[in-house]
Structure 1
Amino acid sequence: MSEGLTLENVRIARGAAELIAVERHVPPGEVLAVMGPSGVGKSTLLAFVTGTLAPGFTATGRVLLDGADLTGTPPEGRRLGILFQNDLLFPHLSVGGNLAFGLAPGGSRAARRARIDAALAEIGLEGFADRDPATLSGGQKARVALMRMLLSDPRALLLDEAFSGLDAARRGQVRALVFDIARDRGLPVLMVTHDEEDARAAGGPVIRLGEDQPPG
């Protein structure tokens, strides 16, 4: 079995126009950066990987995760974690309540709280469980969103312009945290970005959509 995320002969078109042709394998802990101007199809590629491709697009090829074919699997069964530009925290829940949303059902209240407290300590927010998300900085919100996603035990991580809403200082900190956790947990990462610094910081291969690049 080939561990990691594989995009096998993926081709996506809108009408007669082919937007994307990708053949790549992303090993555990590696970040594949997908770059290109707005409208070229970066987020469309992520939608195909997650099983949420919009009507009007046609696609061929397969998405494999640790050797298993996910192409026909419903989105909720793919065990893919995704982070967007906006943190999308639930405003009516505390920080701890947001993290609990990522946990699988079951277990005692004490055990769940212990997992939440340990998760907050891992991202440098120890003691924040009862805080209102509205009181957090942008970087703190991004870290909570990251940990909420990780608590769902994804097998791969997708980043859709995940750092672009942060200022320069917080961007570097959060980006380093995400990449370090991905390496430590052996998660393959597919990152869509328009920022060259994101790609340099990832340290992995780069696909530039909209340019004549050979697949592979």
Structure 2
Amino acid sequence: MALELLNVSIGVNQRVLLRQLNARVERGDVLAVMGPSGSGKSSLLAWIAGTLEAPFVGTGDVRLGGLSVAATPIQQRRIGLLFQDDLLFPHMSVRDNLLFALPAGAREHRIAAADAALAEAGLEGFGPRLPSSLSGGQRSRVSLLRALLAQPDALLLDEPFSKLDAALRAQMREFTFATLRRRDVPTVLVTHDEADVPPGAQLILLDA
């Protein structure tokens, strides 16, 4: 299903950050939002997710599959978030981190789904390990898998590659966008680095 942003405006302390933004992101496509710090990039993601807090104010509508979710509680929006930090639970195994995101069901089926996702990401056999034993790139892949195993209708990426070195950034970009295309998830990417924007993505440039 498509993600639509309709007449979205965001402001703070009587200052307008975004004015009347409109965009439509189809399944498997990416909308990239670029701009300097303070231009409203992360505020836009927070508004879409339903986590925008005062003193910021947002208006407009966000729709998934044609249905408005602007008034829907955060936990019911089915919108995934991926941040700069992987935010994996350090005391839980890699597999248990993934199981935390999976919908309820028979445990053996959920374990099979988690292990299949790890194999897809080139991490077969990593399930019993703790996040602290993984490299930065491996943790980033697990974090993306966890976000996708929750079966979101859309995914928001907030500078997800910014803390990786140049070589890992290139690998994670390729893995991330190939995975999102396979999963047919509409995605909004916030970044300050044009190299993070995949070919064919829509691009919105914000001013400071």
TM-score (norm 1): 0.92
Report whether the alignment pairs 1:47 with 2:46: yes
In structure 2, what is the equivalent of residue 121 of structure 1? 119
In structure 2, what is the equivalent of residue 59 of structure 1? 58
Could you tell me which amino acid in structure 1 is paired with residue 48 of structure 2? V
Same amino acid, percent of matched pairs: 53
Instruction: Find the aligned partners of 1:148 and 1:171 in 2 and give their Cα distance.
Output: 19
Q: Quote how far apart the aligned CAs of 1:117 are.
A: 1.1
C-alpha offsets along residues 19-40 of structure 1, whole Å, 9 cap, x if unaligned? 1121111111111110011111
Runs of 4+ in 1 over 3 A off after TM superposition: none
Alignment of 1:6-25 (within 5 A): 6-21=4-19, 22-25=21-24
Report whether the alignment pairs 1:210 with 2:207: yes
In structure 1, what is the equivalent of residue 100 of structure 2? 101
Q: Quote how far apart the aligned CAs of 1:190 are.
A: 0.3
Q: Quote how far apart the aligned CAs of 1:172 are.
A: 1.2
Could you tell me which amino acid in structure 2 is paired with residue 208 of structure 1? L
Alignment of 1:43-192 (within 5 A): 43-107=42-106, 109-192=107-190
Q: Quote how far apart the aligned CAs of 1:136 are.
A: 0.3
Instruction: Find the aligned partners of 1:25 and 1:76 in 2 and give their Cα distance.
Output: 22
Report whether the alignment pairs 1:196 with 2:194: yes
Could you tell me which amino acid in structure 2 is paired with residue 39 of structure 1? G
Unaligned runs of 5+ in 2: none
C-alpha offsets along residues 139-174 of structure 1, whole Å, 9 cap, x if unaligned? 000000011111100111110000111111111111
Q: Quote how far apart the aligned CAs of 1:58 are.
A: 1.8
Check the 8 A contact 1:34/1:206 in 2, yes or no.
Answer: yes
Unaligned runs of 5+ in 1: 212-216
In structure 2, what is the equivalent of residue 214 of structure 1? none
Check the 8 A contact 1:32/1:190 in 2, yes or no.
Answer: yes
SS state at 2:164 partner: coil
Q: Quote how far apart the aligned CAs of 1:44 are.
A: 0.3
- How many residues are treated as equivalent by the alignment? 207
Instruction: Find the aligned partners of 2:12 and 2:130 in 1 and give their Cα distance.
Output: 43
SS state at 1:129 partner: coil
Check the 8 A contact 1:13/1:19 in 2, yes or no.
Answer: yes
Could you tell me which amino acid in structure 1 is paired with residue 201 of structure 2? G
TM-score (norm 2): 0.96
Instruction: Find the aligned partners of 1:111 and 1:63 in 2 and give their Cα distance.
Output: 33
Instruction: Find the aligned partners of 2:12 and 2:200 in 1 and give their Cα distance.
Output: 32
Q: Quote how far apart the aligned CAs of 1:182 are.
A: 1.4
